[in-house]
Structure 1
């Protein structure tokens, strides 16, 4: 059993998630709270119940204490319930749907502050939604095609005046997929996008890349000297280059606040690219993005900022 103080924080993530572990340590150190950490894959191996009567409602899980006392939830890296396979696939699908419906309903009904709201989180993770919303928010977005039509993909690539990159469109937990420049040698492989819609986008010649951790108005920006290493196309490929604290121009900050408000997100990790032309280009926002390495590289109090939001409703950190 996991004991914690009333009014604690619930972290929904996989058991071995580094970010969840670091957040738990931050909450204990700075707020004296021992959070609940729930991996949804523990259900239905661990039992759960929801009860409603004249006195109200109650929630319980056999290996946790205090779900009804949760004040805030970090919807960090949720998984489907892990339902053992049975004899018939049709029965498995039914039981999976019943388990997911129960555990999600049990949690989503908690009257707490959600970071992020699960519905907004799911919608905002769709690349098409975020790209269109970013453009409406005032961001410059590289010209983009997302398609499963090989002919259209080739036509788009050949029509662009400069280089084009291709990258995955979904946000599932598959194998790491590198953003790459497309060449004519790749054209015969385009038939593979029939069952995997792919994003094709103008390549932006860059001065640097920027990764922004947004904590409900607190804007933590890191400049990545991506062009100095092997991560010129995809900055994730080289963390040996210089990382430094940065501040966005007021106009870009305004677009950022407008975007996150429109998406209904109180937290997200955004990738921007500063072009050689001096423009700030929006690439994507990940509502469950990685940021621990940014704190290690720059000393920015990212975990403390998010912890403050979870406990106090304010992501600011005195002294920063």
Structure 2
């Protein structure tokens, strides 16, 4: 049995499931709004939600796409008992999660979010080119028009910023000084790019796409500001073998066997920007005709 963790209506998950159905494979899809009870049936762990139920030892492979395995917590009126109950439930949950991660898997719930600062340090240690970066509480040392700022987290977004719409925190060029100090923020050298590269990594293999975002004012700083009326040109791309070897080293250091990595090509140099273990890669599959969905299904 294959266990899949994902968000509701994630298109990438749906494409992989189509292949699992075509291959006649049994699977369970757990969405991020499910909470499970832990039960024991004849010494076997049994997990049950309103939508799904399964024995832990029936799971043979796991794909952590997004979301995760979440548990119901039992509470009693006696606080002394609650302390014991919480500790007991914690260790039961820990056992279940670690057991699932010990099985054949694509990514893990425990390291689905990486620390960007550590990732950049690791990348520098294996001699990937990384644009100069620093943290600051003001713009005193910022070189205007030659410095960008972006979130320290992954793809950060703000809910309900206006008219009940979601908002994405995009990469921005600093073109003026701020008078006031602010919370610690991430700044990085602005690299003049030839084009961007999105690389999908799976079990030692790299599948790359060149994104010609610099030709459009709307997308040239952050290609995620998609221009639907005039989309960027996207084509297959082969990274140099030494870069692919370094990618594999980086992913091994992060204990990841899957993820999306972003690069910039500038002249003869390739600059590493970041890795997202749960990043989107459907566009890489669609635009470049890579069989990524089937490869995931085959591995599971």
Q: TM-score, normalised by structure 2?
A: 0.81
Q: Distance in 2 between matches of 1:302 and 1:75?
A: 16
Q: Map Cα deviations across residues 77-114 of structure 1 (whole Å, 9 max, x no partner).
A: 12584979x9xxx9xxx999998876565343234123
Q: Which residue of 2 aligns with 1:37?
A: 29
Are 1:25 and 2:18 an aligned pair?
yes
Q: Distance in 1 between matches of 2:283 and 2:155?
A: 21
Q: 1:50 to 1:133 in 2, by over 3 A?
A: farther
Q: Which residue of 2 aligns with 1:259?
A: 250
**C-alpha RMSD of the superposition:** 3.0
* Number of equivalent positions: 276
Structural mapping, 1:37-76, within 5 Å:
37-43=29-35, 47-51=36-40, 57-62=44-49, 63-68=51-56, 69-76=58-65
- The structure in which a higher percent of residues are strand is 2
Q: 1:282 to 1:101 in 2, by over 3 A?
A: farther
Q: Which runs of 5+ in 2 are unaligned?
A: 159-167
CA contact (8 A) 1:209 1:226 kept: yes
Q: Which residue of 2 aligns with 1:166?
A: 149
1:146 Cα shift? 2.9
Q: 1:173 to 1:100 in 2, by over 3 A?
A: farther
Q: Which runs of 5+ in 1 are unaligned?
A: 1-7, 311-320
Q: Map Cα deviations across residues 20-55 of structure 1 (whole Å, 9 max, x no partner).
A: 2222112222x3214211124321xxx5224387xx
Q: Which residue of 2 aligns with 1:5?
A: none
Q: Which residue of 2 aligns with 1:303?
A: 293
1:118 Cα shift? 3.1
CA contact (8 A) 2:208 2:284 kept: no
- The structure in which a higher percent of residues are helix is 1
CA contact (8 A) 1:137 1:256 kept: no
Are 1:269 and 2:267 an aligned pair?
no
CA contact (8 A) 1:50 1:106 kept: no
Q: Map Cα deviations across residues 62-88 of structure 1 (whole Å, 9 max, x no partner).
A: 43243431111111112584979x9xx
Q: Which residue of 1 aligns with 2:142?
A: 157
